């Protein structure tokens, strides 16, 4: 479904991605963990081409998509993204947040988009918040609206960049539940998160990233309980504590 080969990215003199390769099958959930600044966010942003990689190839369904003749907008429609800081459109209600993409990008007529949007909000448990503005929602509710907004584009895969790390503890559960439900429905997902419980439950594979490289890959069991690399062991030790 998604394949990445030898991705390189510099920010000025900073070498952030040093030849990252990975592959995710259809319906698979891949979790990425790693210390701050290791390039996890940059990797996700390269996959949906929010950032142009310096070199390397990104494949979607077997087609290389980081090419001049493919519009990055088209790629982003296929791959939804959920951000750490929600980034809901502040001037739009929850429902309008969800329907903006379908109406303006896909050209869906507003009535259909509205009906679909309400269904999606109901799916993340927010049927009654359709007309609330982001500032009137809790963090957990905002993040669930953000998930619905990404789903509204009917994406083939979803990227989550630390979706719960900006949340108060009492709201983390509801967001993770919504993501787990999505995984059960067969969504292909790449999730950057340090929620070990979620990772163990939902993911088949975990990647450990450090300093722009993938250091280790394995099942949750392997990564969390018997990591092979010293660096993985140290990092996992820190987040387990």
Ligand X SMILES: Nc1ncnc2c1ncn2[C@@H]1O[C@H](COP(=O)(O)OP(=O)(O)OP(=O)(O)O)[C@@H](O)[C@H]1O
Q: Which residues bind another protein (CB under 8 A)?
A: 8, 12, 48, 50, 52, 54-57, 67-68, 73-74, 76-77, 80-81, 83, 85, 87-91, 100-101, 104-105, 133-136, 146, 149-150, 152-153
Query: Choosing among Mg ion, ligand X, another protein, none, which partner's interface includes residue 54 (Cβ < 5 to 8 Å by kind)?
Result: another protein
- What residue number has its CB nearest to Mg ion? 41
CB contact at 8 A, 166 and 139: yes
In angstroms, rounded to a whole number, what is the distance separating the alpha carbons of residues 116 and 131?
A: 15
The one segment of 34-42, 99-107, 129-137, 196-204 that binds ligand X by CB under 6 A: 34-42
Q: Does 232 bind ligand X (CB under 6 A)?
A: no
Q: How far does Cα 185 stand from its chain's mean position?
A: 16
Which structure tokens are listed for 50?
């929010």
In angstroms, rounded to a whole number, what is the distance separating the alpha carbons of residues 138 and 134?
A: 8
Query: Choosing among Mg ion, ligand X, another protein, none, which partner's interface includes residue 76 (Cβ < 5 to 8 Å by kind)?
Result: another protein
Which structure tokens are listed for 162?
């630390």
CB contact at 8 A, 117 and 102: yes
CA–CA distances in Å: residue 41 to residues 33, 44, 82, 94? 11, 5, 11, 25
Query: Choosing among another protein, Mg ion, ligand X, none, which partner's interface includes residue 128 (Cβ < 5 to 8 Å by kind)?
Result: none
Q: How far does Cα 96 stand from its chain's mean position?
A: 21
**What is the nearest approach in angstroms of ligand X to the Cβ of residue 44?**
8
**What is the nearest approach in angstroms of another protein to the Cβ of residue 60?**
14
**What is the nearest approach in angstroms of another protein to the Cβ of residue 239?**
25
Chain residues that interact with Mg ion, rule: CB under 5 A: 41
In angstroms, rounded to a whole number, what is the distance separating the alpha carbons of residues 30 and 205?
A: 6
CB contact at 8 A, 90 and 104: no
Element of type H or E holding 74:
helix 72-78
**What is the nearest approach in angstroms of ligand X to the Cβ of residue 49?**
14
Q: Does 36 bind ligand X (CB under 6 A)?
A: yes
**What is the nearest approach in angstroms of ligand X to the Cβ of residue 213?**
12
Query: Choosing among Mg ion, another protein, ligand X, none, which partner's interface includes residue 13 (Cβ < 5 to 8 Å by kind)?
Result: none
Which structure tokens are listed for 52?
């142009």
Element of type H or E holding 142:
helix 139-151
Number of residues that bind ligand X (CB under 6 A): 11
Please count the residues of the chain. 241
Q: Which x/- pattern over 37-76 shows residues binding ligand X (rule: CB under 6 A)?
A: xxxxxx----------------------------------
Residues that bind ligand X (CB under 6 A): 11, 14, 16, 34, 36-42
């Amino acid at each position: 479904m998604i394949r990445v080969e030898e991705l390189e990215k510099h920010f000025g003199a900073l070498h952030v991605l040093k030849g990252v390769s990975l592959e995710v099958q259809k319906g698979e959930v891949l979790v990425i963990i790693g210390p701050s600044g290791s390039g996890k966010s940059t990797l996700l942003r390269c996959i949906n081409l929010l950032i142009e990689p310096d070199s390397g190839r990104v494949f979607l369904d077997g087609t290389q998509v980081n090419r001049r003749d493919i519009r990055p907008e088209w790629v982003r429609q296929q791959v939804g993204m959920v951000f750490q800081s929600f980034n809901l459109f502040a001037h739009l209600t929850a429902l309008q947040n969800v329907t903006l993409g379908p109406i303006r990008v896909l050209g869906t007529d507003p009535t259909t988009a509205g009906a679909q949007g309400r269904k999606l909000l109901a799916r993340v448990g927010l049927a009654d918040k359709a007309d609330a503005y982001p500032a009137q929602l809790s963090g957990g509710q905002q993040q669930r609206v953000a998930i619905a907004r990404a789903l509204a584009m009917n994406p083939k895969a979803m990227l989550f960049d630390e979706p719960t790390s900006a949340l108060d503890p009492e709201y983390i559960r509801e967001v993770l539940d919504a993501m787990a439900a999505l995984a059960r429905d067969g969504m292909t997902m790449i999730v950057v998160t340090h929620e070990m419980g979620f990772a163990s439950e939902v993911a088949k594979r975990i990647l450990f990233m450090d300093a722009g490289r993938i250091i280790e890959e394995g099942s949750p069991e392997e990564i969390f309980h018997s990591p092979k690399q010293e660096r993985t062991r140290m990092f996992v030790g820190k987040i387990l504590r």
